Structure formats: C-alpha cells, structure tokens
Chains A and B, each alone.
Chain A
C-alpha cells in the first residue's frame, strides 16, 4: 500500500502521464459524481490532452474520455506512474 504522502493532485500530471487514483478528497456531491464517473481508488487514469487554453483537461479512464476542470481534478489524488 503506497503512502498517502506521495499522492498528488490529478491536475499536476502532464499530458501523456498516467497515475493510479488513491483517494477523492471532495465534498459529498462532487465525490459522488466523480465516483460515478469512475474515479475510484485503484483506477488508472491517463492525461490525454489539455484544452488549447490549458483548461479543462481531458482524461482517459475505464475505456472512455472525460474532461474535467483543473479545479476539480485537483481533488482527485493520484500516485504518478506508468500504467
């Protein structure tokens, strides 16, 4: 089990990088919806690309692509690493 301390916000991953979700630290509504979207502990996530203006960012997980704003992606804690 990895230490909590090496978890970073999902927004800090660069395009092409991947990470493993460790935890979602958000208020209940946001946490609920992020879980529905598949952001659960143990789920691998890859950064597909950024929007031309830098935000939002497109993520790949569970076989699909979803865009999140950085302010919300930050609440998803991931451990960086290759898939």
Chain B
C-alpha cells in the first residue's frame, strides 16, 4: 500500500467517521517525497547518512509495543540500562530511506520520577545516561479512547522541548464505541504533528513512517503546555473540549465481561480455574516437548559418541558440551508456553484483572497481585517465574518476588523427592491418603509457606517498604493478535537463550571438568560402573565432597551426598544421576533405590540413609538454591551478581539450619522410638 492511499484506507476501513478527513492532506504531503525515496534507496542512503534516534513514550496498554514491533520488525535489541533493572529495548527501522534508531522507553504515566528506576528515563531523555544517546525526537503514543488521560503525559513530553509527534492508537476502537475526534484540530491545538494508526492492522503506518523520517519538519508548539498539575489538567480539559466531537461510549463488552470476571464469587472461581489451568499448562503440557528435547540431546550425544574414538575429547563433547546445551534448551518449552499464556492473558486484559482479584492477599505479605503469577509459575520452574516478574512495576516488589521464587517447589525437585520418598517412606495409608503423597504435599507446603514468610521478612528488613503507590490500569478487553503473542514469546525465548543460556552452558562445562578431573586409574579388576564410581570419588568434585563433609555431617550427610550436592548445582535432579554413578548403580532408579537403602557407613556400621538423614536431605532440597540456571537468570533480571549471591547465601543458610533441626528432631524421635 502506498502512502497516498493509506490515510483514506484508514478512515474508510476502520474508522468510519471517527476521524475527520483533515488527516489526509498532512499525511499526503509527508508521504510524497518518501515515494521517491523508496524508488531508489541507495541514493537516499548516500544523501542522508546521519543517524536519528527516536524515543517512544507512552503509558502501559497504549499500544506502544505493537507500534514498536511494527516499525522495527523483529530486530529489537534487548538489554538493561546500567545499574537498574529497567529493560532497555532498541530497534532499527528504515524510515524514508533513513536509518532510524527507535528507543522503546518503559511504559509510564508521567515523566517526573518517583523511583530510582524512573530516574533512568529522566536521565536518558536529558542525555545524561552514560553510553546511551539521548533521543533526537520523541514519539508519544496515546490511546485515542483515553485521550483525556493520555494528554497529561503528552503535556509533559512537549515541555521537554524536543521535536515531538503524537501517535493516536486504537482509533478503530474509538470509532466502534461511537467516539469522534478532530485530528486536524488536535494538531492545531497542540502545535505538534498528530497521526492516527491502527497498529495491529498496520493502518496508517506508511504515513507515520514518512512523517517520522524527518523530525526537522515537525511543527513545534509556540508555547509549551503548563506543567503544574492543576494547570496541566485544565489545559488538557480545554484541548479535549475543542477536539473531541463525541466521547466514546462505554466499552460494553468490557462492562459485561467484568460483571462476571470481577464478581466476588464468579470472579474468584474463574481466577482459580485460570490459575490451575495455567499451572497445569507449564507443569504438564511442556513435558512432552521436554522429553523430546531430552531424547534428542541423548540421541545427539550417542551419535557423536559413536562417531568419535573414545577419549577425553569425546567425553567433553558428549557429557560437557552437548549435555550443557541440553541443560539450556530444556527450559525453552516451559518458557515459551508460559509466555504464550502470559502474553495472551496480558494483552487480552485478564492479567490485570487477576492481579486486581488477588492483590489483597498478596498485599498482606507486602507484595502485590502481580507477584502471584510469577510465584505460581515458579512451581513449574523458577526460570520462567523470575522472567515473569517483568510485569511487576514496583522494583522492590519485583526484587522480593525474584528472591523468594526459588522456594516454590519446582519440577526439578520432583525426581529427588520421588527417589527419596519411594526409597524410605512406607507405602502405607492414613485413612484414604497415602503417606508418600502426604509427605510430598508437606514438602510443597513447606516451600510455599516459607516463600510467603521470607517475602514478608525481606520486604520489611531488607528492601524496605515501597514508596511507589499501587496503581493498575484495567484496560478494555482486546483480543490480541497472534503476531503480537508470537513476537513476545520469541522475544522472551531469545532473551533467555542469549542472556542466561550462555552462563548455564559455561557452568555445565565447568561442572563436567570438576566431576572428571584429575583422571585416576581405577583398580584393574573394577567393572565399568565401579571404575566410574572410583573416578568420581577421586575427581575434584569428589574431593570437594570429602572436603565439605565436616560442614554437612551435622545434617547427617556423608561425602557421597556432598558430591551429589556439588553436582546438583547444575540442576537439582542431577543429584540422582550423580548418586547413581557413585553407587555404581546401573542407572535405573530401582537399583539406585536399593543401593542407597543398603548403604552402610563403614566406620559406624549404621545405614547412611537413616530416617533422620532422609528427612534432612528432603528439607535441604526444599530450601537450597541448587540451580545455577536460576542464579544466572537472577543475575540477568536484577542486573548484578549481588542479588543472586544474596539469594544463594540466605537459602543455603536456611537449608542448613532447617536440615540441622530436622535431623536432630528425627534422630531424637527415632532413638526414643527404638528405646
């Protein structure tokens, strides 16, 4: 579609009568030179090599992301601003033959900062942020249906004195709700260019692109809008009364749906159903894909193993590199499923409602409604859970949510729990309930309740109360486009691979080295599994296991469990495979179960895994942050090693303390029982 037809198509196809026809000439005028540019891009590139940086500013839910994606395609670069947890997102667009850098600023309702994170935006706009260029011109994105609110932000942006252009989104919705506003008059009243788009259908975008390419030509306001709150509101009201010909009616669908979704009974019920489905999805639906990945990685390892001669290089490739890659990729199904659901529910408008419903409960422990989803996701895996905290606007609440997410019982703990429970908890029943199931439930409860308690303590003692007010817009329900959801899923998956995957891969390889070196010669008569056990005992990891024995002996752990704990840093379930290797078990769970049941301490003649040790080990796994992947993602999300180090330490201390107490109590009860 050429620029010339775009404005016409917009008003005909989607906004019948919503916008006055006066938009067309402006767009046409800007579009004309651009057609020339498209005809011969090389020529234009030579003519205007100068880079241009455009900042996108808008409130949450205004359609900013959709517009940013539409303008930049899938070429956004994601990172963090130095020193804070604010996500930095930039992309490049070719606009009118010019290379334009687009800076997607965090969604905000105002520019005057009320938190350190918001100060970043202020400093960025002022060009005072080291290593980040200030935008040359600004694009304010505003929901046409909420113009009265959006213009408050427009007023602030205009006061910055940079070339500014206003983009009205959701003009199709405005028309559908019977609203009508005069874009030409709005342009005149503000003194800046105003363009209307329907971002998800790409309507009006060609005209916008043409206009964005040359901020030098944008009209500038004669007098900037007043800034004191009351005067600013008055200015907005006068602009609105001049340009809004008919206010949009209520969003009837939203009203109708909310009568159910926010109903005290039905709303709570729906919330429970959605959350259970959500949990089920990341917990169970991802399993086939995860099994497939495991199978593929194993098959790939076998292939390489067969193709290469036996030796160190082959072992490194198979057990270090390929297994390490597998350890990264294995998270993708859960991450992608989580973000597919999260993005759909978020863009639909349900996530805000869910947070609204549950906010009071979370508020009791100092968190807020939006923390709930992140913590729930962490039952499947803390990695997607921690990534999901991006929806929490308050930096302090977000940090606390990240710090307690590892306490939610993730699926990697299950193999450990099942091995120990199956081996040592009798398959008896108490009434209709199995004891084994009750123990498992108890472990889940212990983790969850600890997370809530720790969150309350951290909020009070460590990060301090939030000074930011709690506010959350409930946008009208909008059916998200598949494109937007897919884009967000891929964006998250890619961010994970690039930003956490590298660390996880590296650590997996380091752990392989620790478990392999130094190489030792096993006794000649040893069977292959005994040789592997011997090699492991004499490796660095084996020595660490022996080395930390004094520290873990009070918990009832011997060096073998110590090696398992070291190895389980790669991922909790690795302890199962490591114990199997130490006990020279042939790999399947039954033989390992028998081996650990039968293991006797040569010094004391007692069983290594007595009830006290088993209980203590279970409790240890409830608390300990035995997962470098979680540490890696924490590092990425908090933008420093400080918080992962803190989380690791406090959870280790908690694990040690709780295991020690458990070991003591169970030992006491056991000896009493025996006596």
Contacts and interface: CB of A to CB of B under 8 A. Distances in A.
Interface of A: 27, 29-38, 40-43, 49, 51-56, 58, 61-69, 72
B187 interface: no
A32 to B, nearest CB: 5
14 contacts: A29-B469, A30-B467, A36-B156, A37-B109, A38-B148, A49-B258, A52-B267, A56-B360, A58-B474, A64-B473, A65-B475, A66-B472, A68-B471, A69-B469
Report, nearest first, the 6 A-B pairs whose CB atoms are least far apart.
A36-B110, A40-B233, A35-B229, A62-B148, A29-B114, A53-B360
Interface string B149-173: 1001100100000000000000000
B63 to A, nearest CB: 14
Nearest to A27: B467
B146 A58 contact: no
A36 B233 contact: no
B146 A51 contact: no
B112 A32 contact: yes
B473 A33 contact: no
Interface in B244-275: 247-248, 258, 262-265, 267-268
B122 interface: no
B533 to A, nearest CB: 56
Contacts of A49: 258, 262
Interface of B: 109-110, 112, 114-115, 143, 145-149, 152-153, 156, 229-230, 232-234, 237, 247-248, 258, 262-265, 267-268, 352, 356-357, 359-361, 363, 467-475
Most chain A CB atoms below 10 A, which of B143, B148, B469, B474: B469
Contacts of A29: 114-115, 467-469
A54 B360 contact: yes
B356 A33 contact: no
B474 A33 contact: no
Nearest to B244: A63
B472 A52 contact: no
Contacts of B360: 51, 53-56
Given A33-B468, A52-B268, A63 B474 contact: no
A33 B262 contact: no
A33 B233 contact: no
Given A58-B474, A64-B473, A38 B149 contact: yes
A34 B469 contact: yes
A43 B230 CA distance: 10
A55 B470 CA distance: 12
A66 B468 contact: no
A1 B577 CA distance: 77
A36 B147 CA distance: 13
Contacts of A65: 473-475
A32 B152 contact: no
B469 A30 contact: yes
Contacts of A30: 114, 467, 469
Contacts of A58: 262, 356, 474
Contacts of B359: 51, 53, 55-56, 67, 69
A52 B259 CA distance: 11
Contacts of B467: 27, 29-30
A54 to B, nearest CB: 7
B357 A51 contact: yes
A63 B112 contact: no
Given A35-B110, A38-B148, A61-B149, 12 more contacts: A29-B115, A32-B112, A35-B233, A36-B112, A37-B149, A37-B471, A38-B149, A41-B233, A52-B264, A62-B146, A63-B248, A67-B359
Nearest to A42: B233
A32 B258 contact: no
A78 B55 CA distance: 37
Contacts of A54: 360
A9 to B, nearest CB: 15
Contacts of A35: 110, 152, 229, 232-233
B263 to A, nearest CB: 7
Contacts of A33: 109-110, 114, 468-469, 471
B148 A67 contact: no
A18 to B, nearest CB: 14
Given A37-B109, A58-B262, A72 B470 contact: yes
Nearest to B156: A36
A7 to B, nearest CB: 15
Contact of B148 (A36, A63, A69): A63
A37 B234 CA distance: 14
A62 B247 CA distance: 11
A61 B473 CA distance: 11
Given A36-B112, A38-B152, A67 B262 contact: no
A22 to B, nearest CB: 11
Contacts of B230: 40-42
B474 A32 contact: no
Contacts of B109: 33, 36-37
